[in-house]
Structure 1
Amino acid sequence: MNAGRIATLALRIALQFRRDHRTVGLIVVVPMVVLSLLSYLIRLGASELPLGIVQEDRSPIAQRLVEQLRQVEIFEVREVARQELDALLREGRLEAGIVVPEGFARSVVGQGGDRLLVIVEGSRSRTAPMLFQGLNQAMARLAAAQADVRLAEPQVTYLYAGPQYQAIDYFAPTFIALFAFFFVYLLTAVGFLRERAFGTLERLLASPLTKMEMVLGYVTGFSFFALLQSAIILLFTVYVVRIEYAGNLLVVFLIVALLAGGSVNLGIFLSTYARNEFQVYQFLPLVIVPQALLGGVFWPIPEMHPVLQWIAHVLPLTYANFALQEVMIKGEGVLKASVAADIGAMVLFGALMVVLASVGLRRASA
């Protein structure tokens, strides 16, 4: 074994990377960007749960219960009227509501009366665990302070989803969108790069095809496999993983297909800036990780820094997440204004990527 030959080969590899400024930049910049973003979001921590309280019983025991609820650190308590509670829950301004009904005081001393009514909005996985943790804490403090209190189990209703929903059911819309976007982007970027490497692209550029016709042809060809990939991910998640869902699967497939179409266009666009497959793979953390973190699932977008909010609202996965949650958890359809707006944003992103891919192709062929 010759140490000199080994050192020569190692030096050649190092010099090769030194001359490839794009790869060096990706090696240095991408980890810094991803780690900075992740550390910032983790430091945000969990926000308080917006809780609406309707106090119909003004007895001393009811007043003490409400006071105990206000002292729970994980609650952001807001007193509301009964007729506005449902509207605030549907608008997303509250995550849960507690109604202290008339006659609550009689129920705690065993003289009949009505139990507490707990309404869970239900579209987020954190709501029910946080709500019942805080409610149990408040009721335990109340019972400890007053020995004759016998608090009955509250009556619980869900606006969306239900107690049968587990964490996987809440995160399934995000995972469906993320995996479809990831695999389709990878398939397209690598496939298009190989077209360039094998000389197929140069031969097509010499043909009467325009740049836009060429991009649309590639998009159409790759989209067939993108739709197939999307269908496999969706059907496997629903029928093999067996998640709970509320909406129409055809609407879900439409949303995933539009996202996959945008991913095809993005893959073609970015592949024009990559010299080899290694650089395509290095783009992945920069393309996928910010979308997963800023998509509004793990951290609410309104609580992020204004710059990150702006970035989140230009990422296609954000709109796919919102639309899929509306359909799969709330049971909404394409006629819902928010769902239609999210679909429109994804269509706009796909169209923009077609134009950028055409520009990138013109630059690559120059």
Structure 2
Amino acid sequence: MKLPRILAISKKQFQTLRHDKRTLALMLIAPILAMVVFGYAFGTGNKHAKVMVINQDCGATAQKIIDHFDTDTLSITYNNDTAAAKQSVRNGNAVAAIIFPPSFTADSHPVGPRPPQGAHLELYLDSTEAQQAPLVSSQIATALQDYAKDQEAVSAFAVDTGYAFPAAKNATFIDSFLPGIMAFAVTLFTILLTLLAFVGERTSGTMDRLRITPVTETEIVLGYELAFGIIAAIQASLMLLVATLAYHVLVVGSIWLAALIVILVAVDAQSLGILLSAAAQREGQAVQFLPIIIFPVFLLSGIFVPLQSLPDWLRPLAYILPPTWGIQGLRDVMLRGWEISQIWPILLVLLSFAIVFSYLSIVGLKRARN
């Protein structure tokens, strides 16, 4: 073992990297971008839970309790219509509705000889938001305790909790987490396999042989989509089977509708994989695209961090990622029991991604032919 030979090999490697700008940029810039996104995504913590507050209290006690809420943790919107506020929770536009009745102050500060009966407030909760629902309950308990510490002869407060989705009132973190992992896994492996398959066929000459046949680029893309759609259906069936049998994940809605969402996510990923493969000349370059796609999906699609907790400048990026819509759709179906009439906008968005990516893939293949 001689040092000069070791140094010569190292020098050759640096010279190779100097001419491979894509690899060099990936090595130097991608880790910094990943760190920045990680920091902003997880550094904000679990915050900005959207709640609707209906303050009907004829006295001042309710407002004093509301003033104890942490506005960094809760994003508060005031409403005078209890029914509309509860509907917002059922529609997924808010995590909870907090309702203070007209007699809240009177019940907590009785006048005269009437004994204190205790003041009740109503919490209408979306328990399918497994990360933020406990946060809302904790904030209410903390605010009541903080207010009570400053008062004398105050009766006990009680929280009457109702659930927007009673079938999911005992939903746990794993119930909310696994739908996200399903969409993420399908996206990761479909993009990887499509990239490697397409680049492999190009380097082996199979694609060139196809191009001298009557087969069109549209037929190639649709053929791949059909194949991966069937594979995605099998994947969805297996994952849902494991999720329900091994982890006892709550499934309130239609299994078939959940499987359809997984298939659409896979078709989106497959079309994106074909599109990216046009810029890769070999398998090594194809793999380099994975961190660029996977890091944003992993961090911003709502798997770990609720979208409401993301900084305002990062949230639009989350909504241009197909898995974000897939994860939301899976949670809506599996936990909330929503039907196709309620999630058709999500299905339409996923289908739109597939059409756009497929069209761009066809255009890319035609340019490669020319």
How far apart are residue 93 of structure 1 and its match?
Answer: 4.7
How far apart in 2 are the matches of 1:365 and 1:25? 28
**Structure 2 gaps, min length 5:** none
Contact kept, 8 Å, 2:188 with 2:294, in 1: the verdict is yes
Matched, 1:334 2:340: yes
How far apart in 1 are the matches of 2:308 and 2:117? 45
With normalisation by structure 1, the TM-score equals 0.86
How far apart are residue 18 of structure 1 and its match?
Answer: 2.3
Secondary structure class of the residue paired with 2:58:
coil
How far apart are residue 79 of structure 1 and its match?
Answer: 5.3
Deviation string for 1:279-311 (max 9, x for gaps)? Answer: 2222112112212333255243696445x4443
**Match of residue 66 from structure 2:** 69
Secondary structure class of the residue paired with 1:234:
helix
**Match of residue 133 from structure 1:** 138
Deviation string for 1:288-341 (max 9, x for gaps)? Answer: 2212333255243696445x44433332112212222221222111111xx211
Partner AA of 1:271 in structure 2: S
Secondary structure class of the residue paired with 1:274:
coil
Partner AA of 2:361 in structure 1: A
The match for 2:190 among 184, 188, 212 is 184
How far apart are residue 172 of structure 1 and its match?
Answer: 2.2
**Match of residue 213 from structure 2:** 207
Matched, 1:351 2:355: yes
Q: How has the CA–CA distance of structure 1 residues 216 and 330 changed in structure 2, closer, same or farther, with 3 Å as cutoff?
A: same
Partner AA of 1:343 in structure 2: L
How far apart in 2 are the matches of 1:214 and 1:75? 50
- Give the aligned length: 360
**Match of residue 249 from structure 2:** 243
How far apart in 1 are the matches of 2:27 and 2:211? 32
Partner AA of 2:239 in structure 1: I
**Structure 1 gaps, min length 5:** none
How far apart in 2 are the matches of 1:80 and 1:290? 39
Q: How has the CA–CA distance of structure 1 residues 279 and 227 changed in structure 2, closer, same or farther, with 3 Å as cutoff?
A: farther
Alpha-carbon RMSD? 2.8
How far apart are residue 350 of structure 1 and its match?
Answer: 1.2
Partner AA of 1:124 in structure 2: E
Deviation string for 1:38-67 (max 9, x for gaps)? Answer: 3333454544444434445535xxx32441
Contact kept, 8 Å, 1:52 with 1:79, in 2: the verdict is yes
Contact kept, 8 Å, 2:107 with 2:116, in 1: the verdict is yes
**Match of residue 6 from structure 2:** 6
With normalisation by structure 2, the TM-score equals 0.85
The match for 1:300 among 299, 304, 307 is 307
Q: How has the CA–CA distance of structure 1 residues 10 and 227 changed in structure 2, closer, same or farther, with 3 Å as cutoff?
A: farther
